[in-house]
Amino acid sequence: NAGVTQTPKFQVLKTGQSMTLQCAQDMNHEYMSWYRQDPGMGLRLIHYSVGAGITDQGEVPNGYNVSRSTTEDFPLRLLSAAPSQTSVYFCASLGGRDRNEQFFGPGTRLTVL
């Protein structure tokens, strides 16, 4: 199993550009989520999905869109990048013995100039 994979690892954007952060998991997990992490802020939930075709907003959804057309993939779209979206983005899927353990991808480090 590859676990949770994220691409790209690093990205630099200009203000106003759009892009999609990719996330995929091969563990057949239903629940997936996106977080952003800023210094001193911990991880803040952007969007999450409890299964294919179902998504919901987290704590900081503005400026981001998600879709979940398959169980494996959960892409995060930045519609019009802003400097405030400079952050490290983590994707996670929920599984484990009790389906209570989140498995995280390695993160995408995004800088918006």
Partner 1 sequence: RKEVEQDPGPFNVPEGATVAFNCTYSNSASQSFFWYRQDCRKEPKLLMSVYSSGNEDGRFTAQLNRASQYISLLIRDSKLSDSATYLCVVRYSSASKIIFGSGTRLSIRP
Point out which residues bind partner 1 (CB under 8 A). 33, 35, 40-45, 48, 50, 56, 58-59, 90, 94, 96, 98-102, 104-107
Q: Which is nearer to partner 1, 13 or 36 (CB)?
A: 36
Cβ 52 to partner 1, closest distance in Å? 14
Contact (CB, 8 A) for 43 and 91: no
**Amino acid letter at 68?**
R
Cβ 15 to partner 1, closest distance in Å? 25
Q: Which is nearer to partner 1, 16 or 56 (CB)?
A: 56
